[in-house]
Structure 1
Amino acid sequence: MKGEELIALLVQLSRSDNNFDDFEFSYILQVGQALGMNQLDIEDAIRYNTRKEVGFPKTEQDRMNILYHMLFLMKIDKNVSPKEAELIHHYGFKLGFSKSMLDEFITVITDYAHERVPTEKMLDIIRKYQN
């Protein structure tokens, strides 16, 4: 998945609850910059909300990274909306993850909405389903 595709996916997720805030904006900027995109291109993707055809990666690590970015974007405003959870399920399934695994991730993110998610909680879910 190209950086532009991931940013478009994150913008779609961030706008799904009709509450696009500064925290989400900053997070998307950080992700884009970490992927080597320039700030102007990222801001344009956010501003114009361009839809991109998404090509999903083959490697498990790359797919997990996309899911990670989506989960933590969903968490950043401390509110997990049903529409956000629906998009996590939609794209998570396309990434090859089971509904039960996605449900557990969403539950952990919801349970820790106001505090740091323990790394071990996330790793426990991965270990459980990636045997």
Structure 2
Amino acid sequence: MLKDLNLNIRKTILKMLYDLAFADGHFHPSELDYLKNVIRELGLEEGEIEKLKWDEFAFKFELPKEENERIKILYHLLFLSKTDDEVNDSEVEYIRSICLKLGLREDLVLDLTDVVKAHIGKYLHPDKLLDIIKKYYN
């Protein structure tokens, strides 16, 4: 579970998601709703967004070592990117750059973002993404 990760990692995840929400130049209300759900999943307070927004040095940027935790971050990035019914190039580029930091394959990320784009305005079952991930890691 994400809330079992150390505090720096949880804040790093929130900061990455927050930055993705602004990658296209605007912050959609649906993105805020998604962030609030993730904040609860991370076991953080809603006020943490404001702290991270104004103080980049409020925590040490740290990523999880476990691959399954890094994949969960990727899932959140992908699902957040489609909450405003649009996935643009700046969001895809941001996700790609984060995934390189996470040690995930670039071709995997591009395949996953293509699937997310194809499901704009439609339900995307997480298993559809998992099937693609399995193709690369099994």
Tell me the TM-score normalised to structure 1 length: 0.90
In the alignment, structure 1 residue 3 sits paired with structure 2 residue 3: no
Query: 1:3 Cα shift?
Result: 1.8
Task: State the partner residue of 1:40.
Answer: 47
Which of these residues, 55, 67, 73, is aligned with residue 66 of structure 1? 73
Query: Are the structure 2 counterparts of residues 49 and 8 from structure 1 closer, same or farther at C-alpha, using a change threshold of 3 Å?
Result: farther
Q: Which of the residues 3, 11, 30 maps onto 1:23?
A: 30
The separation in 1 between residues aligned to 2:61 and 2:25, in whole angstroms, is 22
Q: Cα 1:96–1:4, aligned 2, differ >3 Å: closer, same or farther?
A: same
Give, in whole Å, the separation in 2 of the partners of 1:122 and 1:73.
14
Aligned with residue 83 of structure 1, among 70, 85, 90: 90
| Residues 12, 49 of structure 1: 8 Å contact kept | no
- Contact 1:13-1:84 within 8 A present in 2 as well: yes
Aligned partner of 2:124 among 114, 117, 126? 117
Contact 2:82–2:117 (8 Å) recurs in 1:
yes
Residue in 1 aligned with 2:56? Answer: 51
RMSD after superposition: 1.6
Q: Which runs of 5+ in 2 are unaligned?
A: 1-7
Gapped regions of structure 1 (runs ≥ 5)? none
Per-residue CA deviations over 1:69-125 (Å, capped at 9, x if unaligned) read: 111110111111111000111011111111110011000000001111133321211
- 1:41 positional shift: 2.2
CA contact (8 A) 2:12 2:63 kept: no
Contact 2:78-2:116 at 8 Å conserved across structures: yes
CA distance change for structure 1 residues 31 and 83 in 2, over 3 Å: closer, same or farther? Answer: same
Distance 2:127 2:37 in 1: 24
Amino acid at match of 2:66: T
How far apart, CA to CA, are the structure 1 residues paired with 2:51 and 2:104?
Answer: 27
Q: CA deviation at 1:40?
A: 2.1
112, 132, 137: which is aligned to 1:130?
137
Residue 94 of structure 1 corresponds to which residue in structure 2?
A: 101
